[in-house]
Amino acid sequence: MTTNDQLFERARQVIPGGVNSPVRAFRAVGGTPRFIARAQGAYMWDAEGTQYIDYIGSWGPMILGHGHPAVLEAVQKAAVEGFSFGAPTEREVELAEEIIRHVPSIEQVRLVSSGTEAGMSAIRLARGATGRSKIIKFEGCYHGHADALLVKAGSGLATFGHPTSAGVPAEVVQHTLVLEYNNLEQIEEAFTAHGPEIACVMIEPIAGNMNFVRAAVPFVRRIRELCDQHGALFIFDEVMTGFRVAPGSAQSLYAAAIPGFRPDISVFGKVIGGGMPLAAFASSRRIMAHLAPLGGVYQAGTLSGNPVATACGLATLREISRPGFFDALGAKTRALVDGLKGAADAAGVPFCVDSQGGMFGFFLMPELPQNYTTVMTTDQPRFNRFFHGMLERGIYLAPALYEAGFVSAAHTDADIAATVAAAAEVFRTL
Ligand code: PLP
């Protein structure tokens, strides 16, 4: 048997840091990443044969659990028909129709291969459609690793951002303004200072890249009003929340709270590909008409709308469209976070939780944070002890305190109970 340690050592020789995406390296929590050999339903097994209950679900896509029979069948059938044609297929049309059917704000969809690509293209579209350059994003929201989005706040509203990655020239982020999430005053000031130059405001409506922080309804309502007043576009990045928190995605929750609410552009990924490389950006016909080949905003992809990926995504969306799917998933996720909260309370550990549909967050603090600065005041060593205590007990949580968790339809009540029982033990050691 090859151990995780041996594989990690081998990987580090040929892959930078041993991983193909940084968070997998366990740098935040320490220790050796688990090399996964296979997965089924709610479980994964590593190279050493150890079984885990999986609460990462490939960072969101696996809403049905691993190896769902209907999805597997669709993928196998599609693979036999052909891997990639570089020409349009009926399945791309079907997937676009299926996405549009659930999300009233969109009339047209462009498929791409990753959330990064989708977010980057959405911004280009917003800039092309408005003829403006400046964009607003929020601290703690991740929209993929496009250069203009790898940015942290400048020293004030007059100064735009600074790159957060080497290799990104300052000039590339000079049009990106980074504001505090849920801070109404800052967004007002930003529009007062730069209104006519702002192409778009991009937000994660439930920010899963700072664990789980909801954009407050008055905040979203005010951004919508300011965008309308100043001719800017409002982009909802639903790569994580799309078809994960509700059938109509997070925007349906805001539409229920704010009459007539809709974003101008939506970005999807993860669940719409069911675990295959597939993402999308979408908007009204009028805005999407700016895209090539119709309009002047260029965007393209060799593997865009890949026939195997679209089969996987379509089969996944069909399963989650079944009546009652989200009620059951939401109840299961709620049972998990309530159980964790009860166990933490019993052990006297300050703890708070939130969840929506199959997405959840928990914080080692007494009250839910509203922005990134507060999230990052978490007692990191304590989180790391919790993470490793759970991992040792076969519970695979996100290896960083600023990541959301995911429950799938394959998780059973027994899985949830086992997770809560493990947490109760670990909390007593914290
Ligand atoms: N947007 C959000 C909200 C995300 O959570 C992510 C990835 O986690 C992305 C964009 C980037 O997607 P990808 O990793 O597919 O490039």
Between the CA of 104 and the centroid of ligand 1 the distance, in Å, is 22
Closest CA to 70 of 334, 313, 315: 315
pLDDT tens-digit readout, 329-363: 999 999 999 999 999 999 999 999 999 999 999 99
What kind of fold does domain 4-67+323-429 have according to CATH? Aspartate Aminotransferase, domain 1 (3.90.1150)
Between the CA of 183 and the centroid of ligand 1 the distance, in Å, is 23
Burial of 307 (0-12, 13-18, 19+ CB in 10 A): buried
Between the CA of 145 and the centroid of ligand 1 the distance, in Å, is 8
Closest CA to 265 of 205, 192, 186, 326: 205
Report residue 242: phi and psi, to 5°: -60, 125
Per-residue pLDDT at 156:
65
**Could you confirm whether 270 is annotated as catalytic?**
yes
CA quadruple 169, 226, 188, 251: dihedral positive or negative? negative
Tokens of 349: 């550990």
Considering the candidates 46, 270, 354, 415, report the single residue annotated as catalytic: 270
Q: Which amino acid is at 152?
A: K
Query: Could you report how far apart the first and last alpha carbons of the chain are, in Å?
Result: 33
Tell me if 239 CB under 6 Å of ligand 1.
yes
Reported for 119-122, long-range contacts at CB under 8 A and 24+ positions apart, including other chains, are: 119/143, 119/144, 119/146, 119/149, 119/202, 119/237, 119/239, 119/267, 119/281, 120/144, 120/146, 120/148, 120/149, 121/281, 121/299, 122/202, 122/235, 122/237, 122/265, 122/267, 122/281
**Could you confirm whether 237 is annotated as catalytic?**
yes
Give the helix ranges, DSSP H, for 146-248: 184-194, 217-230
Between the CA of 22 and the centroid of ligand 1 the distance, in Å, is 13
- Going by alpha carbons, the residue nearest to atom 5 of ligand 1 is 240
Between the CA of 38 and the centroid of ligand 1 the distance, in Å, is 23
CATH code of domain 69-320: 3.40.640.10
CA quadruple 190, 267, 277, 50: dihedral positive or negative? positive
Residue whose entry in the numeric block shows the structure tokens 């009250």: 367
Considering the candidates 55, 142, 181, 372, report the single residue annotated as catalytic: 142
Q: How far apart are CA 371 and CA 201, in angstroms?
A: 17
pLDDT in tens, the chain (430 residues): 899 999 999 999 999 999 999 999 999 999 999 999 999 999 999 999 999 999 999 999 999 999 999 999 999 999 999 999 999 999 999 999 999 999 999 999 999 999 999 999 999 999 999 999 999 999 999 999 999 999 988 766 666 788 999 999 999 999 999 999 999 999 999 999 999 999 999 999 999 999 999 999 999 999 999 999 999 999 999 999 999 999 999 999 999 999 999 999 999 999 999 999 999 999 999 999 999 999 999 999 999 999 999 999 999 999 999 999 999 999 999 999 999 999 999 999 999 999 999 999 999 999 999 999 999 999 999 999 999 999 999 999 999 999 999 999 999 999 999 999 999 999 999 9
Between the CA of 112 and the centroid of ligand 1 the distance, in Å, is 13
Tell me if 208 CB under 6 Å of ligand 1.
yes
The ligand 1 atom nearest the CA atom of 117? 16
**Could you confirm whether 43 is annotated as catalytic?**
no
Tell me if 61 CB under 6 Å of ligand 1.
no
The pick from 209, 266, 272 for probing ligand 1's pocket by mutation, whose C-beta has the most ligand atoms within 8 angstroms, reads 209
Tell me if 163 CB under 6 Å of ligand 1.
no
Tell me if 273 CB under 6 Å of ligand 1.
no
Angle between helices 413-429 and 380-392 (to 10 degrees): 130
Give ranges for CATH 3.90.1150.10 in the chain.
4-67+323-429
The ligand 1 atom nearest the CA atom of 59? 8
Q: How far apart are CA 313 and CA 304, in angstroms?
A: 13
The ligand 1 atom nearest the CA atom of 241? 3
Give ranges for CATH 3.40.640.10 in the chain.
69-320
HSE toward the beta carbon, residue 254, CA cutoff 13 A: 27
Tokens of 164: 């957060």
Q: Across the chain, how many H-helices and E-strands are there?
A: 13, 18
CB contact at 8 A, 192 and 157: no
Tell me if 269 CB under 6 Å of ligand 1.
yes
Tokens of 54: 């999986």
Q: Which amino acid is at 398?
A: A
Percent helix, strand and coil across the chain, each to the nearest 5 = 45, 20, 40
ipTM for the complex?
0.99
DSSP state of 215: P
Tell me if 115 CB under 6 Å of ligand 1.
yes
